[in-house]
């Protein structure tokens, strides 16, 4: 499969020059291994999924690591997170070394717990999601951005089926002892049908015949394995009573479309889920841009109890925010900016920029045309250009 440059490559290289270890997290098959092996072709490589490798690491980790030539890539470290203690010991023996340990993991929360305990100050932590629109021209709301789907779109349905089976068998069973994987699979499809809605655990539990605490645990699994984006409400109270539940999207819109049985552009165009899928696609693109610049994920929504709602609130600088409405239309009209205008006029202490983003082409909005005074109509590419950070940062 042809390699396409990843936007995160620059941050990974910078981190490797500044820290003894680099930890790259992200969902399975997002391209973590390909990126590291491309950037560090001379590094030794170990995949920590082979049962023999896992056994050797657990029974005699010191001998295993002593035999490794550094720099070394340790792939899927979440399978033996205790190895971080031994990596830390080697870093502490040679603290001046940089970029010697390159680690990947597909389960951010458990891995981060080990990093906090063992690798604080010794490792840069970066997150890689599937391809963004800035990285590959074929990324869209229907296909999403998984590299193998982009490379072979005609086999997308088969790939997603296989991916879900692998995900259920490996990640889900690793994190939680779920006995009924069929019900969990139904939960995934049901959650896909709730994309862009407030997380209502009771509403999800009823059709599946499970408890609300079970739904909470399952949502946590999806977040841990970076399959979903949990978008919280904006924390500022603009003198209004706010809704406090988060909204849910899938990190990859292609996976969500597959779970909903949407396989073609024609299916998507006539689907009642077109709007939510496009909204989730926009959310994912915003998050990818933030992560690829080495920044933390920072995206919110706004909704008050009087019904005023804006899809996304994105902080872009100190006391500066962007308000974003996502509309799955190629024709954007002034009325689509109404909620943005209402919220914008209610905010006095922020510098506010407002955008309505549609499915149009880059050329159509090259000039960031004003749809209403103070509100610009943009494509996804135009929105990302407007939100582009000026000072990338590496999170440590």
pLDDT tens digits, one per residue of 97-135: 999 999 998 865 555 666 666 777 889 999 999 999 999
Name beta bridge partners: 44: 72
Q: Where are the beta strands (DSSP E) in 273-308?
A: 300-303
The segment(s) of the chain belonging to CATH 1.10.10.10 are: 147-291
Q: What is the dihedral of CA 258, 263, 268, 274, to 10 degrees?
A: 10
What pLDDT is stored for residue 367 in this prediction?
45
How do the pLDDT tens digits run along the chain, 396 residues long?
A: 677 899 999 999 999 999 999 999 999 899 999 999 999 999 999 999 889 999 999 999 999 999 999 999 999 988 888 898 899 999 999 888 999 999 998 865 555 666 666 777 889 999 999 999 999 999 999 999 999 999 999 999 999 999 998 887 777 877 776 778 889 999 999 999 999 999 999 999 999 999 999 999 999 989 888 899 999 998 776 656 677 899 999 999 999 999 999 999 999 999 999 999 999 999 999 999 999 999 999 999 998 888 889 999 999 888 899 999 999 988 888 999 999 999 988 887 789 999 999 997 653 444 457 788 889 999 999 999 999 865 545 555
DSSP run (H or E) holding 84: helix 83-93
pLDDT of residue 366: 42
Helix or strand (DSSP H, E) at 124: strand 123-127
Other beta carbons within 10 angstroms of residue 324's beta carbon come to 26
Span(s) in the chain for CATH 3.40.50.300:
9-127
The answer to whether 274 touches 339, Cβ cutoff 8 Å, is no
Q: What span, in angstroms and rounded, lies between the C-alpha atoms of 155 and 122?
A: 41
> Beta 101-105 vs 21-25: how paired, if at all?
parallel
Instruction: Kindly state the tokens that stand for 328.
Output: 């799955």
CATH no. of 147-291: 1.10.10.10
DSSP state of 77: G
Rounded CA gap, 294 and 287, in Å?
A: 11
Q: What is the pLDDT of residue 107?
A: 64
Instruction: Report strand pairing: 247-250 vs 72-75.
Output: unpaired
Token couple for 63: 């001998």
Residue tagged 């990974």 (tokens): 12
pTM, to two decimals? 0.92
May I ask the CATH class of domain 9-127? Answer: alpha beta
With a CB cutoff of 8 Å and minimum separation 6, the contacts of 96 are none
Give the model's pLDDT for residue 392.
46
**For residue 44, how many other CB atoms are within 10 A of its CB?**
14
Rounded Cα–Cα distance for residues 262 and 251 (Å): 17
* Residue that has been written with the tokens 């920590």 in this structure: 48
Nearest CA-CA partner of 373 in 340, 331, 328, 325: 340
What pLDDT is attached to residue 110? Answer: 56
* CA atoms of 107 and 383, how far apart (whole Å): 30
The Cα 248–Cα 193 span in angstroms is 10
Cis amide prior to 71 (ω within 30 degrees): yes
pLDDT of 348:
72
């Amino acid at each position: 499969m042809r390699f396409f440059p990843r936007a995160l490559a620059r941050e990974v290289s910078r981190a490797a020059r500044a820290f003894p270890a680099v930890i790259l997290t992200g969902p399975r098959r997002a391209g973590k291994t390909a990126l590291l092996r491309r950037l560090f072709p001379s590094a030794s490589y170990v995949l920590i999924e082979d049962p023999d490798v896992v056994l050797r690491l657990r029974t005699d980790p010191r001998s295993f690591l002593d035999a490794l030539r550094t720099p070394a890539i340790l792939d899927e470290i979440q399978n033996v997170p205790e190895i971080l203690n031994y990596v830390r010991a080697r870093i502490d023996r040679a603290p001046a070394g940089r970029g010697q340990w390159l680690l990947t993991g597909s389960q951010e929360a458990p891995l981060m717990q080990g990093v906090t305990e063992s690798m604080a100050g010794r490792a840069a932590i970066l997150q890689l999601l599937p391809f963004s629109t800035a990285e590959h021209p074929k990324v869209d709301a229907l296909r999403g951005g998984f590299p193998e789907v982009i490379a072979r779109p005609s086999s997308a349905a088969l790939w997603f089926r296989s991916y879900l089976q692998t995900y259920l068998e490996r990640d889900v069973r690793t994190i939680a002892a779920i006995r009924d994987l069929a019900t969990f699979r139904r939960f995934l499809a049901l959650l896909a049908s709730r994309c862009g809605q407030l997380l209502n655990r009771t509403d999800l539990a009823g059709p599946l015949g499970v408890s609300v605490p079970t739904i909470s645990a399952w949502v946590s699994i999806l977040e841990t394995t970076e399959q979903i984006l949990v978008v919280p409400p904006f924390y500022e109270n603009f003198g209004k009573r706010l809704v406090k539940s988060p909204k849910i999207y899938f990190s990859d819109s292609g996976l969500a479309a597959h779970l909903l049985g949407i396989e073609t552009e024609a299916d998507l165009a006539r689907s009642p889920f077109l709007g939510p899928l496009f909204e989730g696609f926009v959310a994912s693109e915003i998050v990818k841009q933030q992560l690829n610049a080495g920044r933390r994920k920072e995206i919110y929504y706004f909704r008050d109890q009087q019904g005023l709602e804006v899809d996304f609130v994105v902080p872009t600088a100190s006391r500066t925010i962007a308000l974003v409405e996502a509309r799955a239309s190629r024709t954007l009209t002034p009325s689509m900016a109404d909620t943005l205008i209402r919220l914008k006029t209610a905010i006095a202490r922020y510098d506010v920029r407002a955008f309505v983003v549609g499915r149009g082409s880059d050329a159509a909005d090259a000039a960031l045309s004003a749809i209403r005074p103070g509100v610009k109509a943009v494509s996804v590419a135009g929105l990302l250009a407007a939100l582009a950070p000026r000072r990338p940062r590496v999170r440590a």
